[in-house]
Amino acid sequence: MLTTLCILLLIALVVFANEQGGLAILGSTRDSLTAFLVQHRLLPNNAPPAPLVIKPSVVILPQHDSFNCITDTTWSPDSKYVALLGTQQNCAVGGSAMPGLLTIHNASNGKQVYSFLLNKLVIAAFHHQYPKLRTEAVFYYQTVLWFHDGYHLAVLFGATFFHEPLPPSFDGLLLLDVHGGSSHVLLHPDQNNFISYLVWDTQQGSEYIAPSNASSTAQSPGYTIPPSPFYRWGNGGGANELLPVQDKVGLSPSSSLAAIGDPDGGKTFTLWQPGQLGLTTANGNGAYLPGIATWSTYFAAWSPDGRYIVDRLLVDGRINIPGHSIPDHQTLLALSMELLPLLPVRDKALQRVLQIFASTIAQTDFIGASVSWRFDGGVLAAYGAGDYDTGVVIYRCTDGTHVATLQPSSAALARIGSGVVLRWSDDGAHVLLFNVGLGTVMIWNVPTSL
């Protein structure tokens, strides 16, 4: 009788949480109840609780705001708002203008609270600084950052004047005040430097390329900033403001369960920012099993004092899958990955996703997933590891346990843009997914005790 009552109570809690969009109290309640059942021999010690199944609390339809392409999203520091960045035309329209758009939505109900048309804000800067450029530019809006003061946003973009002789290209930074203050634009002629990052000094209104971290410019080593256990902001200014910090054993996983760190104004952060996992086994000329697992992240960072913004922080690396043979040098050469640095398996959650890859790779030449760690480093959200239709799966980093599944919305809309964006809120209580296939932005409320 007691067993039946406890199980019914657990089921009732799960149903109640799903109806409410997921309550933070549920995670600890579920764990306490499970411990009670195990203690009284009503559940076997090796029977973990069933993963939570959580429905979206908010679904945003970008088409209603005239978006045809979403390129990035970000959370406000207080986790109450989300910003969507993109264009009012398709992502890849060569040679024609692409009207940029930034909208800000209330994360609790999805309603739009601010909207900015970006082209008119940046074109004036080009006319002022480069008056000889009279033709229309194509803008590529790439990244949006939200500073920790809550009202300043930075939009990083590129621009190409296709109709000019020897079409010039530029990198750009647009600084916005969501409360209606003046905007500022910084521009930098693009030098096609793919092995260093760009530093914007918002105080001086200047910019420069950081010194190269690669020993050779002939081939990319897979990063613009050296892979490191973590990065910190110093006090020296200039290109030395952002410092990779190595320990005595290099990229050691010894502190793998430490915080991930927030690059939007955080004093330190790690390379494990939202990114892509992949496993490649073929190059078109043959198969190379077990293949090579890779990790890639591309992001920007804002210094804690708000002065510096670094762009084009890229880390590509390869990872050896535990329990599987290590790729030999011939395989690395065949798949053009011999220059990629070897990264550790950060935690058990990452290991589990990699093992899912290894179990399904025989079905295809490549498999990939979008992954994102909560900022405290305790859990990992993965989308696309195995099957996109199953939603976002959350794994606990200490043991790799599947603790929750975030179900996607059922509305299937027109495909919008390209890529997938997966983001945790700063408070760790919400997950956002832009699903390119459904053309929706979904937000789930997630128990912080997972």
- Position 12 scores a pLDDT of 46
| Overall average pLDDT of the 273-291 stretch | 83
Pair 172, 198: CB distance under 8 Å:
no
CA geometry: angle at 106 spanning 104 and 112, to 5°?
50
Q: Among 60, 118, 116, 68, which residue's Cα sits nearest to residue 91?
A: 68
CA geometry: angle at 148 spanning 142 and 150, to 5°?
90
Measured distance CA(212)–CA(121) in Å, rounded: 32
Alpha-carbon distances of 382 from 188, 222, 390, 433, rounded to whole Å? 36, 23, 11, 10
Long-range contact pairs involving 13-18 (C-beta distance under 8 Å, separation at least 24): 14/50, 14/52, 14/53, 17/52, 17/54, 17/447, 18/52, 18/53, 18/54, 18/55
Measured distance CA(302)–CA(200) in Å, rounded: 10
Residue 281 pLDDT grade (very low, low, confident, very high; cuts 50, 70, 90):
confident
Per residue in 287-344, pLDDT tens?
Answer: 777 788 999 999 999 998 899 999 889 999 999 999 888 988 888 888 889 889 999 9
Measured distance CA(371)–CA(264) in Å, rounded: 18
| Overall average pLDDT of the 241-248 stretch | 70
Q: Are strands 342-343 and 308-319 parallel, antiparallel or unpaired?
A: parallel
- Give the mean pLDDT of the chain: 81
Percent of the chain with pLDDT over 70: 77
- The alpha carbon torsion through 266, 269, 274, 277 (nearest 10 deg) reads 180
Pair 198, 207: CB distance under 8 Å:
yes
Measured distance CA(305)–CA(398) in Å, rounded: 33
Q: Take residue 49 and report the two structure tokens written for it.
A: 């609780």
Measured distance CA(91)–CA(89) in Å, rounded: 6
Q: Of 94 and 294, which is predicted with more confidence?
A: 294
- Position 248 scores a pLDDT of 41
| Overall average pLDDT of the 170-198 stretch | 86
Residue 366 pLDDT grade (very low, low, confident, very high; cuts 50, 70, 90):
confident
At residue 124, what is the residue type? Answer: A
- Position 98 scores a pLDDT of 75
- Position 147 scores a pLDDT of 92
Q: Is it the case that residue 216 has pLDDT exceeding 50?
A: no
HSE-up of 224 (CA within 13 Å, CB side)? 22
Measured distance CA(263)–CA(196) in Å, rounded: 18
What DSSP character marks residue 102? E
Which ranges of 53-188 would DSSP assign to H, the alpha helix? Answer: 119-129
What's the alpha-carbon Rg for the chain, to the nearest Å?
23
Residue 220 pLDDT grade (very low, low, confident, very high; cuts 50, 70, 90):
low
- Position 409 scores a pLDDT of 82
Per residue in 107-143, pLDDT tens?
Answer: 999 999 999 999 989 998 998 889 888 778 888 899 9
Q: Take residue 250 and report the two structure tokens written for it.
A: 């290099």
Per residue in 8-19, pLDDT tens?
Answer: 444 444 444 444
Burial 310-345 (b: 16+ CB within 10 A, else e): bbbbbbbbbbbbeeeeebeeebbebbebeebbebbb
Residue 154 pLDDT grade (very low, low, confident, very high; cuts 50, 70, 90):
very high
Measured distance CA(143)–CA(154) in Å, rounded: 8
Measured distance CA(9)–CA(4) in Å, rounded: 9
* Predicted model pTM: 0.85
Per residue in 26-62, pLDDT tens?
Answer: 444 444 444 444 444 444 555 668 999 999 999 999 9
Most confident of 74-83, 233-242, 383-392, 411-420: 74-83
- Position 422 scores a pLDDT of 95
3-state secondary structure of 35: helix
Q: Is it the case that residue 174 has pLDDT exceeding 60?
A: yes
Residue 362 pLDDT grade (very low, low, confident, very high; cuts 50, 70, 90):
low
Long-range contact pairs involving 258-261 (C-beta distance under 8 Å, separation at least 24): 258/230, 258/377, 259/375, 259/376, 259/377, 260/373, 260/374, 260/375, 260/376, 260/377, 261/230, 261/375
Per residue in 249-262, pLDDT tens?
Answer: 345 544 556 899 98
